Amino acid sequence: MPCGAAAGCTLKRILVTGANGFVGSELHCELVRRGYSVRGAARTAHPGRNPGSCMNEDGEDSREFAVINDIGPETDWTECLQDVDAVVHLAARVHLMNDKANDPLAEFRRVNTAGTERLAHMAAIMGVRRFVYVSSIKVNGEKTGEAPFTEADEPAPEDPYALSKWEAEQALWRISREAGMEVVIVRPPLVYGPGVKANFLRLMDWVNKGIPLPLAGVKNKRSLVARDNLVHFLVRCLEHPAAAGETFLISDGEDLSTPELIRAIADQMGRPAWLVRIPPRLLRAGAAAFGKQGMVDRLCGSLQVDIGKARQMLEWSPPVSVCSALKRTVEWYLGGR
């Protein structure tokens, strides 16, 4: 149900932070395509990478950018928030494998917690009606057992990044209660798609190079979310009245084991999947000896989310299948990026 400016929606101008990023660039374009007036906040005043078209109904790329060099407790968002009806806050200090900060927790809190609180406080003062915050499934925890995570679970953040996101969520609910601004929290798992980096890109490199992977014996299940599905859901969170005041877990709705994911990537590449069977307990023991336990935990452990609330409350279903999303991602990878 499109609800952009062309359709006369009361939410007409949207601020997207992190608008040059992996998710933000595509969300910025999608909102323009739907007829919204969109302002992107980013470190540079020009579009970042984006594989798609950003044309509105008049055939124009109407994206607008405002430069924000740093996010923290003293950031001045006044220019960005002028005449804005809603905010989608994607910009964040992301989880780093080898964090060089002297005090990682303090830095995560400065950007993700205090920075988010500052933006939301100014947004409320300037009359923003709805604030959509992209948090992380890591707020729920690092792994699941027999049951998937749900929105009703007690948060259990384990690392500085997840803790800073959880604290930001609490600050947003406090501002919402005090100022009346509508808040929506979205906690996605790993996001993939054309332009993906980090662990997912590394996995594609391994498959493409034919590196034998000792994961044939892994029997886990993990939820992922394609960027297209996440963007579609974020638009739904802007448009649907029932989203206000709610937290949502989101995924593709098709959970895969690590071997299934590797085989699916290999199939899209037209390559064999070189999987070797080594007991997971031996993998973990070897990883611990070399300081790689976190990587093995992500490859061998389960992390599932239940998206039933999003399906029922917002009448939402993932529009893109895992197969289609992986196909697009692999095409981008093989195309030279």
Which helix (H) or strand (E) covers residue 20, if one does?
Answer: none
Instruction: Say if CB 249 and CB 187 are below 8 A apart.
Output: yes
Alpha carbon 78 to chain centroid, angstroms = 25
Determine the distance from the C-alpha atom of residue 84 to the mean position of all C-alpha atoms in its chain, rounded to a whole number: 22
Question: Could you tell me the sign of the dihedral formed by the alpha carbons of 314, 231, 183, 11, in that order?
Answer: negative
Is 201 exposed, middle or buried (CB count within 10 Å of its CB: 0-12, 13-18, 19+)?
A: middle
User: Which of 133, 161, 192, 333 is labelled catalytic?
Assistant: 161
**CA–CA–CA angle 63, 130, 224 (5° rounding):** 75
To which residue do tokens 């950007």 refer?
111
**What distance separates the 2 farthest-apart alpha carbons in the chain?**
60
Compute the distance between CA of residue 215 and CA of residue 116 in angstroms, rounded to an integer. 39
Instruction: Please report, to the nearest 10 degrees, the dihedral formed by the alpha carbons of residues 170, 125, 15, 306 taken in order.
Output: 20
Which residue, among 240, 222, 250, 134, has the nearest Cα to 185 in the 3D structure? 134
H or E, element range at 132 = strand 130-134
3-state secondary structure of 233: helix
161 is catalytic: yes
At residue 204, the 3 state secondary structure works out as helix
Vertex 329 angle, CA 89 and 325, to 5°: 75
Instruction: Give the three-class secondary structure for 62.
Output: coil
Tokens 């948090």 correspond to what residue? 135
User: What one-character-per-residue DSSP string does 98-124 give?
Assistant: T---SSHHHHHIIIIIIHHHHHHHHHH
Q: Which residues are catalytic?
A: 161
